[in-house]
A and B are shown apart, each in its own frame.
Chain A
Amino acid sequence: MRARRLTAVALAFVAALAVFAATRGDGPAAAGPPTGLALDARPADSTAEEVRRLQAAVRRGEPREAELAAAYAQRARETGDPSFYARAEAVLGPNPAGAPALTEAAALAAARHDFRGALGLARRARAAAPDANAAFPVLVDALVELGRYDAAERTLQRMIGRHPDLGGYARISYLRELHGDLGGAAAAMARAVAAAGSARSFAADTNALLGELELRRGRETAAGRAFRLALAAVPGHPAASAAMARLAAATGRQDVAIARWRRLVARMPLPEYAIALGEAELAAGRSGAAERAFALVRAQEAILRDAGVDVDAELAVFEASHGSARRAVTLGRRAWASAPSVRSADALGWALTRAGRPETGLRWAHRALRLGWRDPLALHHAGFAALAAGERAEGERLLRAALRDGLAINPLLAAEAREALR
Chain B
Amino acid sequence: MRRTPLVGVATVAALAAGTLAVTGASSSSHREAPKILTDPTADNTDLYAFTAKDAPGSLTVVANWIPFEEPAGGPYYGKLDPTARYYVKIDNTGDGVEDVAYRWKIKQKFRNPDSFLYAAPQVTSVDDPDVNFVQTYDLYKETYRKGKLKKTLKLASGLPVAPDNVGPKTIPDYSPIFNGAVKSIPGGGKSFVGPADDPFFLDLNTVFDGINIDKPGRPNIGLGNQGGGKDDISGYNTHSFVLQVPESEVTRNGRAVGSADASNAVVGLWATTERKQLKVLRGRKGKKHVKAHWVQVSRLGNPLINEVIVPIGSKDKFNRTGPADDAPNFGAFAVNPEPARLLNALFNLGVKETDRTDIVQALLTGVPDLTQIGDNPVPADTLKLNLGVPPADMENRFGVLAGDVAGFPNGRRLADDVTDIELRVIAGALLPDDQGGKQIPLGDGVDQNDKPFGTSFPYVAQPTDGFTGLSKRTEPAHAPVPQPPTGG
Q: A174-B9, A233-B74 are in contact. Are A44 and B313 (CB under 8 A)?
A: no
Q: A44-B471, A50-B22 are in contact. Are A131 and B316 (CB under 8 A)?
A: yes
Q: Which of B79-87, B120-128, B398-406, B448-456 contacts A (4 or more CB under 8 A)?
A: B79-87
* B160 in the interface (beta carbon within 8 A): no
| A57 to B, closest residue via Cβ | B209
* A229 in the interface (beta carbon within 8 A): yes
* B186 in the interface (beta carbon within 8 A): no
Residues on B close to A: CB < 8 A?
1-23, 25-26, 33-35, 38-42, 66, 69-70, 72-84, 113, 116, 205, 209-210, 275-283, 290, 295, 297, 312-317, 319-320, 471-474
Contacts of A111 in B (CB 8 A): 10, 14
Q: Select A137's contact among B7, B13, B40, B474, beta carbons within 8 Å.
A: B13
* A255 in the interface (beta carbon within 8 A): no
The answer to whether A343 touches B13, judged by C-beta atoms less than 8 angstroms apart, is: no
The answer to whether B312 touches A43, judged by C-beta atoms less than 8 angstroms apart, is: no
**Cα A336 to Cα B353 with chains together (Å):** 56
Which residues 97-125 of A have a CB within 8 angstroms of B? 99-100, 103-104, 106-107, 110-111
Contacts of A131 in B (CB 8 A): 313-314, 316-317
The answer to whether B10 touches A272, judged by C-beta atoms less than 8 angstroms apart, is: no
The answer to whether B14 touches A110, judged by C-beta atoms less than 8 angstroms apart, is: yes
The answer to whether A169 touches B5, judged by C-beta atoms less than 8 angstroms apart, is: no
Kindly provide the distance from the CB of B90 to the nearest chain A CB, expressed in whole angstroms.
24
| A69 to B, closest residue via Cβ | B20
**Cα A171 to Cα B473 with chains together (Å):** 34
The answer to whether A46 touches B26, judged by C-beta atoms less than 8 angstroms apart, is: yes
**Cα A38 to Cα B76 with chains together (Å):** 16
The answer to whether B13 touches A141, judged by C-beta atoms less than 8 angstroms apart, is: yes
Q: Select A197's contact among B10, B66, B313, beta carbons within 8 Å.
A: B66
Q: Which of A10-18, A156-164, A258-266 contacts B (4 or more CB under 8 A)?
A: A156-164
The answer to whether B83 touches A194, judged by C-beta atoms less than 8 angstroms apart, is: yes
Q: A164-B276, A212-B8, A343-B6 are in contact. Are A406 and B19 (CB under 8 A)?
A: no
**Cα A170 to Cα B11 with chains together (Å):** 10
**Cα A375 to Cα B79 with chains together (Å):** 33
**Cα A138 to Cα B80 with chains together (Å):** 27
Q: A137-B17, A239-B8 are in contact. Are A191 and B83 (CB under 8 A)?
A: yes
Q: Select A50's contact among B3, B9, B25, beta carbons within 8 Å.
A: B25
Kindly provide the distance from the CB of B118 to the nearest chain A CB, expressed in whole angstroms.
10
Which 4 interchain pairs have the tightest Cβ spacing?
A167-B16, A36-B11, A197-B41, A70-B20
**Cα A228 to Cα B374 with chains together (Å):** 56
The answer to whether A172 touches B278, judged by C-beta atoms less than 8 angstroms apart, is: yes
Give the most central of B5, B11, B73, B281: most A CB within 10 Å: B11
* A359 in the interface (beta carbon within 8 A): no
Contacts of A110 in B (CB 8 A): 10, 13-14, 17
The answer to whether A133 touches B35, judged by C-beta atoms less than 8 angstroms apart, is: yes
Contacts of B84 in A (CB 8 A): 194-195
Kindly provide the distance from the CB of B277 to the nearest chain A CB, expressed in whole angstroms.
5
Contacts of A228 in B (CB 8 A): 116
The answer to whether B15 touches A38, judged by C-beta atoms less than 8 angstroms apart, is: yes
Give the most central of A57, A132, A171, A209: most B CB within 10 Å: A132
**Cα A113 to Cα B20 with chains together (Å):** 21
The answer to whether A195 touches B275, judged by C-beta atoms less than 8 angstroms apart, is: yes
The answer to whether B320 touches A163, judged by C-beta atoms less than 8 angstroms apart, is: yes
**A and B contact pairs by CB, cutoff 8 A, 17 listed:** A36-B11, A62-B209, A107-B19, A132-B313, A134-B20, A161-B295, A166-B12, A166-B39, A170-B9, A173-B9, A176-B282, A178-B5, A181-B283, A194-B84, A197-B40, A202-B15, A314-B3
Residues on A close to B: CB < 8 A?
35-38, 42-47, 49-50, 53, 57, 62, 66-67, 70-71, 73-74, 77, 99-100, 103-104, 106-107, 110-111, 128-129, 131-134, 137-138, 140-141, 145, 153, 156-157, 160-179, 181, 184, 188, 191-192, 194-203, 205-206, 208-209, 212, 216, 225, 228-229, 232-233, 239, 242-243, 246, 272, 275-276, 313-314, 317, 343, 375-377, 406, 409-410
Contacts of B79 in A (CB 8 A): 197-198
**Cα A172 to Cα B281 with chains together (Å):** 7
| A140 to B, closest residue via Cβ | B13
Give the most central of B2, B74, B77: most A CB within 10 Å: B2
Give the most central of A38, A44, A129, A168: most B CB within 10 Å: A44
Kindly provide the distance from the CB of A200 to the nearest chain B CB, expressed in whole angstroms.
6
The answer to whether B13 touches A49, judged by C-beta atoms less than 8 angstroms apart, is: no
Kindly provide the distance from the CB of A37 to the nearest chain B CB, expressed in whole angstroms.
7
The answer to whether B38 touches A165, judged by C-beta atoms less than 8 angstroms apart, is: yes
The answer to whether A232 touches B278, judged by C-beta atoms less than 8 angstroms apart, is: no
**Cα A197 to Cα B79 with chains together (Å):** 5
Kindly provide the distance from the CB of A383 to the nearest chain B CB, expressed in whole angstroms.
15
**Cα A128 to Cα B12 with chains together (Å):** 24
The answer to whether A232 touches B14, judged by C-beta atoms less than 8 angstroms apart, is: no
The answer to whether A225 touches B113, judged by C-beta atoms less than 8 angstroms apart, is: yes
Contacts of A77 in B (CB 8 A): 11, 14-15, 18
Q: Select B19's contact among A104, A176, A184, beta carbons within 8 Å.
A: A104
The answer to whether B76 touches A107, judged by C-beta atoms less than 8 angstroms apart, is: no
The answer to whether B2 touches A195, judged by C-beta atoms less than 8 angstroms apart, is: no
| A34 to B, closest residue via Cβ | B14
The answer to whether B1 touches A409, judged by C-beta atoms less than 8 angstroms apart, is: yes
The answer to whether A141 touches B10, judged by C-beta atoms less than 8 angstroms apart, is: yes
